Structure 1
Amino acid sequence: MKVSMFHLCPYRDLPADFEKRYQSSVVDPPFFEVANPEQAGRTYNETLDELIHAAKAGLDGICVNEHHQAAYGFMASPNLMASALARATRDLEVAIVVLGATMVNASPPLRVAEEYAMLDCISGGRLVAGLPLGSSADSNLCYGITPIEQREMFREAHELLRKAWSSRESFAWNGKYTQLPLVNLWPRPIQQPPPIWVPGAGSLSTWEFVARNNYSYSYLSYFGHQFAKSVMDGFWEFVDRNGLEPNPYRAGFLQLVVVSETDAQAAEDYEKHLRYFYDKCLHFPPHWYAAPGYMDHPSLVRAVRSQGAITQKPWKDWKFKDFVDNQFVIGGSPATVRQQLEEAAKSLRVGNLMVLLQIGSMPHELTLKNIDLFAREVLPHVRHLWDDEWENHWWPEKLRGKRNAGQKEAAR
């Protein structure tokens, strides 16, 4: 199993009454009322330091992502962050996982192909290229993309990206949404092509796109593996119906994880930061999850049936134990976390596991502690999963061998 540290880059210093004063942590939170540029700068640099620390501690990959106008995660350009990480980890066997740069938000989307090619060259062929459709809040509300056109725009941009990476000759591109007189991409990626992961939330059309192109599907959720079970069971049923190899590396999952010396100490260390994440970071109106036209019909049906965890917010009065017992969070002593994490990976049958090790308001030093304990006491016990049976075709080829946790001494 390949295990990567995922980082949202949340703003860690929102006012205590933020969720009572403002309607949302995304799209319209007033920056100058709740934040300041100097603190934002510190957060960006702490985020980079935390991901580099995870790479040195022995995690297989480090993950960045894209969101806009959001205190929940204000990494507006994941490729800027990834370029710094690629350079800083040039001597480490760690994948740079960008989940991902949103093609429909770029004009022209060829820019994503260019920047991904740059990242693959800077990293020496260590890029995992994420191709997200883009959230409705980001693309429709912040960037003005027409919801009903978004999937068609994404598919056209994907074809342009793949052709730009591989074509030996320059070409004109006359699409419905993008027209370019001469495409001649400089540079080209070292990997031909880089492995591609497609994040999703259970959409049938995303599964079909992933299957048609032989990509890896990443289910990103903050509600734990129990909530994800029906989605991933549906994905594996789809894989079986379509005669695809049931390789666990065909799928990835994001899990919140917190580790401390004991279960009791974990509750003391992390409870208030979990509350900050669920109360403040995930504070936004349900209707901003999907503008009309954003979802196709099968996806809309699935979303309506499963939206309870999002709209009803059952965590309103939860303590640390409730987050763990309800399996939203895997947390506790190393032994507790090892057991829960292995059970989750096997239950969902995922080979590419992403762990959120900085959560909400978690400060820098506590994040480093979480990374160190995870890398030293948990990672060596779970990364063996699937390796004896399957090859990870969706990982940079030069990094497919086994990597030992702590291969490089973790340094602050």
Structure 2
Amino acid sequence: MKYFFFHLMSWPHLPPNFEQTHDSAWIWAPNSLYDPVKGHDLYREYINTLAYADELGFDGVCVNEHHQNAYGLMPSPNVIAGALTQRTKNCKIAVIGNALPLYNPPLRVAEEFAMLDVMSGGRLITGMVIGGGPEYFSYQIEPTTARERFREALDLIVKAWTTPGPFEWHSKHYYFRYVNPWPTPMQKPHPPIWIPGVGSLETIEFVAQRRYAYMGVPYFHIDIFRRVFGQFREACQKAGYEAHPEQMGWGVPIYVAETDKQAREEFEPAFWYFIKNLMKGIGTTPPGYTSAKSAAAILKNQQYFLYQQKTWADIENGVFAIVGSPETVRQKLQRYQKELGVGVVLTGCQTGTLSHELARKSMELLAREVLPKIKC
């Protein structure tokens, strides 16, 4: 069982009336709300927190990519990962991921990931993503060909890592006379590939066929995860093999304090800030970004999405977060890990406006009083 510490690097300083005065924290939230001086302090503290996860013995740390928003301040997660190669010694560094259709040329992803793998001594996990709907507004990318370009770019990157160059590449969307990246990855044949998903059967089947790892994006009701991981195991069986638990990752915020009451009191205000402010607009998608079938499924399942939850009872009943004393958290983690059959948990211990001090206290309790009893 592997536990990864996931950090979004969110902006915690939105004005108190943001929910009432702004339509979204994405794309068109005015960047006049950003303060570079406070941002300097945040990046330092956020990187320190990720490095501390390595000291505490987490199996890995995770960063991800988002553009023009207050939700996640990592338009280039590879920059943060580069810093982490020098600040960590043992943990894996998972970049989940690079939004391949946004990169032109996608060979840059092959090169930068290879650099990170070498710099980290072979500790990189590469996340390949299509990118969320808001990113296509931010970068003015044609959404209807996103999935075609994603698969072509992924095939190109894997071949660049595994086939001696130079060689020529010619596909529908990409042409390169010379493919010959320097450096090449330390891990052979290439670093592990994780692909996040929100329940699309097409994505599940694609990941299973390629024998990559499927990472369930957080913010969904536990029933969605039960269905998705069941579908993934079935897809692996159709592809001729049994899914390994570490091919499946469950993303869920976790917060631990001395008692259940204290945990809720410390975490709940920060979590509602995250839901009501930072998630506002996260589902914005351009026409053609999803198929009609997927769009209908999204509409049908809206009540299972975190942004639609109204009370703390909704949060607890849907397991949108695991919050409590060390014993409460241990019991819930053991129960749901067994139910879902996953071998990887991606936990965000720092959410919304939660202070660095409380985040690190929670990390310490999780690492020292919860995980040893689960992993033994």
* Aligned-partner Cα distance in 2 for 1:70–1:218: 23
What's the CA shift for 1:108? 0.3
* Aligned-partner Cα distance in 1 for 2:344–2:319: 19
Q: How does 1:393-408 map to 2 (within 5 A)?
A: none
Aligned to 2:366: 374
Instruction: Return the letter of the residue paired with 1:124.
Output: G
* Deviates most, 323-332 or 23-32: 323-332
Instruction: Return the letter of the residue paired with 1:274.
Output: F
Q: Which of 276, 293, 300 is 1:305 aligned to?
A: 300
Aligned to 1:183: 179
The alignment yields a C-alpha RMSD, in angstroms, of 1.7
Aligned to 1:137: 134
The answer as to whether partners of 1:3 and 1:383 remain within 8 angstroms in 2 is no
What's the CA shift for 1:21? 0.6
Instruction: Return the letter of the residue paired with 2:154.
Output: H
Q: How does 1:208-357 map to 2 (within 5 A)?
A: 208-284=205-281, 286=283, 288=284, 290-310=285-305, 313-315=308-310, 318-319=311-312, 322-357=314-349
What's the CA shift for 1:332? 0.5
Instruction: Return the letter of the residue paired with 1:268.
Output: E
**Distance of aligned partners of 1:212 and 1:239 in 2 relative to their CA distance in 1, 3 Å threshold:** closer
What's the CA shift for 1:283? 1.2
Secondary structure of the residue aligned to 2:286 is coil
The answer as to whether partners of 1:24 and 1:283 remain within 8 angstroms in 2 is yes
Q: How does 1:53-72 map to 2 (within 5 A)?
A: 53-72=52-71
TM-score w.r.t. the length of structure 1 is 0.87
**Distance of aligned partners of 1:285 and 1:99 in 2 relative to their CA distance in 1, 3 Å threshold:** closer
Instruction: Return the letter of the residue paired with 1:208.
Output: E
Secondary structure of the residue aligned to 1:359 is coil
1:224-274 Cα offsets, whole Å, 9 max, x none, are 534422222222233334432132112111011000000111122111111
What's the CA shift for 1:343? 1.2
**Distance of aligned partners of 1:23 and 1:7 in 2 relative to their CA distance in 1, 3 Å threshold:** same
Q: Which of 169, 173, 186 is 2:169 aligned to?
A: 173
The answer as to whether partners of 1:12 and 1:363 remain within 8 angstroms in 2 is no
* Aligned-partner Cα distance in 1 for 2:10–2:54: 20
Secondary structure of the residue aligned to 1:131 is strand
The answer as to whether partners of 2:134 and 2:282 remain within 8 angstroms in 1 is no
Aligned to 1:25: 25
Tell me: higher relative CO, structure 1 or 2? Use CA pairs within 8 A at least 6 residues apart.
1
Instruction: Return the letter of the residue paired with 1:185.
Output: P
Q: Which runs of 5+ in 2 are unaligned?
A: none
Aligned to 1:358: 350
Q: Which runs of 5+ in 1 are unaligned?
A: 385-412
The answer as to whether partners of 1:217 and 1:252 remain within 8 angstroms in 2 is yes
The answer as to whether partners of 1:225 and 1:255 remain within 8 angstroms in 2 is no
Secondary structure of the residue aligned to 2:334 is helix
Aligned to 1:98: 95
**Distance of aligned partners of 1:298 and 1:251 in 2 relative to their CA distance in 1, 3 Å threshold:** farther
Q: How does 1:66-81 map to 2 (within 5 A)?
A: 66-81=65-80
Pairs aligned (count): 375
1:266-321 Cα offsets, whole Å, 9 max, x none, are 122111111111111111174x1x32211234433432321223497132xx24x5
The answer as to whether partners of 2:275 and 2:307 remain within 8 angstroms in 1 is no
Aligned-pair identity in percent equals 40
The answer as to whether partners of 1:260 and 1:332 remain within 8 angstroms in 2 is yes
* Aligned-partner Cα distance in 2 for 1:240–1:181: 39
* Aligned-partner Cα distance in 1 for 2:165–2:72: 39
Secondary structure of the residue aligned to 1:99 is strand
The answer as to whether partners of 1:100 and 1:129 remain within 8 angstroms in 2 is yes
Aligned to 1:3: 3
Secondary structure of the residue aligned to 1:84 is helix
The answer as to whether partners of 2:26 and 2:282 remain within 8 angstroms in 1 is no
* Aligned-partner Cα distance in 2 for 1:306–1:383: 34
Structure 1 stretches of 4+ with a deviation exceeding 6 A read none
TM-score w.r.t. the length of structure 2 is 0.95
1:45-101 Cα offsets, whole Å, 9 max, x none, are 111111101110010000000000110112110100001001111xx3210011011
The answer as to whether partners of 1:202 and 1:299 remain within 8 angstroms in 2 is no
The answer as to whether partners of 2:209 and 2:236 remain within 8 angstroms in 1 is no
